[in-house]
Amino acid sequence: MNVVQELQRVNWQNPGTLSGPARLTVALGSLLLICVLGWYFMIQDKITIHEGLEAKEVTLRADFAVRQKKAANLEPLKEQLVTMNAMLEQMLKQLPSKTQLADLLVNVSEQALAAGIQVRLFQPQTESVKEFYAERPILLRMVGNYNQFGNFVSGVATLPRVVILTMHDVAITPVAGKSGITAAPGSLVLEGTVKTYRYLDEDEAAEQAAAEAGTARTTAPVR
């Protein structure tokens, strides 16, 4: 009887009756089964982890390439930022200072009168300080015609310092039908709010930066 036949007929409740070759075959088979199961439960998991690490490596390499490209452009961007900041500083200093703004507002009002415009209201409001500049709203009501308003704008453009006026809720309507206003036929009423701007001096800029830093600390979330 060969080993295969013996294994087919063996009483596994009493394996001691197996011959030596049969026992060796069973032992080798058991060892092989243990190796297969060990590979499946241990080595296969490591292979899966390895494959995941390889995929992560590909992602990290791609991310590194992007960051390396950004780093290569960092110095030119820093130089560009310095240039832009210098240009901004130069443009801001073309605006009137705190001491010059009051005189310039008087000059603006005088330009309106010189253009033949009736200034019914020219009332500066409370100044609002921003990050690196300050803005002052002005309530105004002026009466004139298109040519006079054009001359007024041209006159403001010739002032010795840059005056920026932005219009907010400004309306131009015919005088006809408005009570309390006497003007030549065809005249118009310009009324609403304009804002003018000035730059902050070094002390004001430092105070504003300190105030914003304090606000940021106050509103920062507590961890």
Tell me if 3 sits within 8 A of 21, measured CB to CB.
yes
| Residue 202 vs residue 133, higher pLDDT | 133
Over the stretch 187-197, which tens digit does the pLDDT of each residue have? Answer: 888 889 988 88
pTM: 0.53
> Is the pLDDT reported for residue 164 higher than 80?
no
Over the stretch 96-133, which tens digit does the pLDDT of each residue have? Answer: 777 777 888 888 888 889 999 998 888 989 988 887 78
| Residue listed under structure tokens 């088979």 | 29
pLDDT for 173? 85
Tell me if 174 sits within 8 A of 71, measured CB to CB.
no
What residue ranges do the domains of the chain occupy? 98-205
* Helix%, strand%, coil% for the chain, nearest 5: 60, 20, 25
| Stretch 70-82: mean pLDDT | 83
- DSSP 8-class letter at 98: H
Return all residues near 120 (Cβ < 8 A) that are at least 6 apart.
141, 142, 143, 181
CATH number of the domain at 98-205, out of 1.10.1760.20, 3.30.70.60, 3.40.50.2030, 3.40.50.970? Answer: 3.30.70.60
